[in-house]
Structure 1
Amino acid sequence: MPQNKFDFTLIKGVLIHINPDYLSKVYEILYQSSNRYICVVEDYNPSPVTVNYRGHQDRLFKRDFAGEMLDKFQDLSLIDYGFVYHRDTNFPQDDLTWFLLEKR
Structure 2
Amino acid sequence: MRDLSEQEKFWQGDFGNQYVERNIGQPLVAASLAMFAKALSRAGRIDSVVELGTNAGNNLQALHQLLPQSELFGVEINESACVQARALGIAQIWQGSLFDFPRERTYDLSLSKGVLIHLAPELLATAYAQLYALSRRYILIAEYYNPAPVEVPYRGNSGKLFKRDFAGEMLDRYADLHLLDYGFVYHRDPQFPADDITWFLLEKRP
TM-score band w.r.t. shorter chain: over 0.9
Query: 1:1-16 to 2 correspondence within 5 Å?
Result: 1-16=102-117
Shift of residue 4, structure 1, vs aligned partner: 2.1
Instruction: From 82, 85, 98, give the equivalent of 2:183.
Output: 82
Can you give the 5+ residue segments of structure 1 that lack an aligned partner in the other structure? none
Shift of residue 92, structure 1, vs aligned partner: 2.2
**Greater RCO structure (CA 8 Å; 6+ sep):** 1
Shift of residue 80, structure 1, vs aligned partner: 0.5
Question: Does residue 47 of structure 1 match 2:148?
Answer: yes
Query: 1:11-50 to 2 correspondence within 5 Å?
Result: 11-50=112-151
Shift of residue 48, structure 1, vs aligned partner: 0.2
Aligned to 2:174: 73
Bigger proportion of residues as strand: 1
Identity rate of aligned residues, in percent?
A: 61
Aligned to 2:7: none
Bigger proportion of residues as helix: 2
- Aligned counterparts of 2:143 and 2:103: Cα–Cα separation in 1: 22
Shift of residue 19, structure 1, vs aligned partner: 0.3
Can you give the 5+ residue segments of structure 2 that lack an aligned partner in the other structure? 1-101
Superposed CA deviations along residues 30-72 of structure 1, whole A, max 9, x for unmatched, are 0000000000000000000000000111100100000000000
- Number of aligned pairs? 104
SS in 1 for 2:183: strand
Moved over 6 A (4+): none
- Aligned counterparts of 1:20 and 1:36: Cα–Cα separation in 2: 25
Instruction: From 178, 193, 206, give the equivalent of 1:92.
Output: 193
